Amino acid sequence: MTPVLVAVPPISSTQSPHSNSYYGLDMDSGRDLLRNVLTETGMSQSELSRISGVRQPSISQFLSGRIQMSDEMLDRLLSCLGYRLEVVRRPVRVKLDRSQTRSWHLHRQLASHLDNDVFDGWIPTIRRNLDRLSLTAQGEPHVSSLNRWESLVIQRDVPAIRRVMTGLDTNSVQMREVSPLGGLLPQSERSKVLELMGR
């Protein structure tokens, strides 16, 4: 989920909460949100400066993208315009390249088999793979990723291993690039996953 900034006006008896006075924008579009509300209310930057106590050059620089503004400061400005700031969440599809997508699908399928007992049976294969990978992996983030895999295996941290197998954060994607879980997914399931992906 990606946080989204939302400016919500106070709801009056004649106003629907779904009126067009509701702006939802990505976190880096706070300036667009403030600009839209200024336009709707008809208030100038100088008027907003006088009411809010925030210097007009700061408001101008924020609106032009030259400086950043905290959510707290943005909320302060919006409140002077009759709005409040909310941070809501929405699902956003993560963009991976073809190799990363393939790895994620295969690891996700393998994760469907994972539990503590199954993991115990995987450990010999994982150990062999870690030994082999440690001889060939060079540079960062591969060395750090292998160290993290080693630590998770030693700790038998199955929940954390599952998160790495299915996660779409940068760390999980990088760790799957040097995954020691090769050879564990049955060939029939591997073929089916690749076929569904359209190879």
Mean pLDDT of 24-45: 80
pLDDT tens per residue, range 127-161: 999 999 999 989 999 999 999 999 999 999 999 99
- What is the per-residue pLDDT for 193? 93
**How many angstroms separate the CA atoms of 104 and 165, rounded?**
7
pLDDT at 35: 92
Measured distance CA(78)–CA(62) in Å, rounded = 14
Q: What percent of the chain shows pLDDT beyond 90?
A: 66
In CATH, the architecture of 2-90 is: Orthogonal Bundle (1.10)
Tokens found for residue 1 = 């989920």
Structural domain boundaries of the chain? 2-90, 98-197
Residues in the chain: 199
Instruction: Copy the structure tokens of residue 130.
Output: 């870690």
Whose tokens are 């040097």? That residue is: 178
- Predicted TM-score (pTM) of this structure: 0.62
| Contact between 161 and 152 (Cβ < 8 Å) | yes
